[in-house]
Amino acid sequence: MARVEAEPYEFEFDPATTALLMIDFQRDFVYPGGFGEALGNDTSPLLKALPPAGKVLKACRAAGVFVIHTREGHRADLSDLPPAKKARGRGKITIGDVGPMGRLLVRGEVGHDIVEEVYPIAGEPIVDKPGKGAFYATDLDAILKMKGIQKLVVCGVTTEVCVHTSVREANDRGYDALVLSDCVGSYFPEFQRVALEMIKAQGGIFGWVSDSERFLAGLRSAVPSAAGAAAG
């Protein structure tokens, strides 16, 4: 059993029944020219999450922790795009329109794919989701159940939107979720702070919060083979 210092209290997990959930580390959110910027955001704050999330990813792979990635996006014909979602944002270009990285938030486009620093490798499922929550209209729950997963360690973007929605959904489905504060990112510092506060408030109303250093220390103490990978 691994033990991680966390708030509101220690998070215990068995690496064999825990998954690392990497949420929406897509060019469309992280880089200029994508959906995030089309909404009027400065995308640069999200880049900060990539180095620590990359370290956690490598260490989890070395420790044999199951890794699963998600991407938010829609079918090319936009048949799964609610009209309200298309209309919202009111930018010059919206979901499905062509930007510098292809059509915004459309599956198969350059902007829709995951950034190199945390790119999936063989054996790591990628779940394509049409909504903010990773469980809505996806087979994520079925995959986690097949693998016997009970706990989730969560990295991704953005903290207050897809990370929050997915952690709430996970909580309602009986999973314990640990969010790593430096491995999640928001366009808004205040939202980042408050979103993390909300997760761990009221005795951990829907999860735990820690950070990459404390998580890696806990993982290393349970699975020493994870140590070299996290350092590299």
**107 Cβ contact partners less than 8 Å away, ≥ 6 residues apart:** 71, 73, 74, 75, 76, 128
Q: Is 24 in the site for ligand C5J (CB under 6 A)?
A: yes
- The least CB distance from residue 171 to ligand C5J, in Å, is 17
Q: Is 29 in the site for ligand C5J (CB under 6 A)?
A: yes
Q: Is 158 in the site for ligand C5J (CB under 6 A)?
A: yes
Collapsed DSSP state (helix, strand, coil) of residue 144: helix
What is the pattern of x (binds ligand C5J, CB under 6 A) and - over residues 72-101?
Answer: x-----------------------------
DSSP state of 202: H
Query: What's at 188, amino acid-wise?
Result: F
What is the pattern of x (binds ligand C5J, CB under 6 A) and - over residues 37-76?
Answer: -----------------------------------x----
Helix (H) or strand (E) holding 66: strand 66-72
Q: What is the CA radius of gyration of the chain?
A: 17
Can you list the alpha helix ranges (DSSP code H) found in the chain?
27-30, 35-38, 44-47, 50-63, 83-87, 140-146, 164-172, 189-204, 212-222, 226-231
Closer to ligand C5J by Cβ: residue 13 or 206 = 206
What is the pattern of x (binds ligand C5J, CB under 6 A) and - over residues 96-135?
Answer: ------------------------------------x---
Catalytic residues: 24, 129, 162
Q: Which positions lie near ligand C5J, rule CB under 6 A?
A: 24, 29, 72, 132, 157-158, 161-162
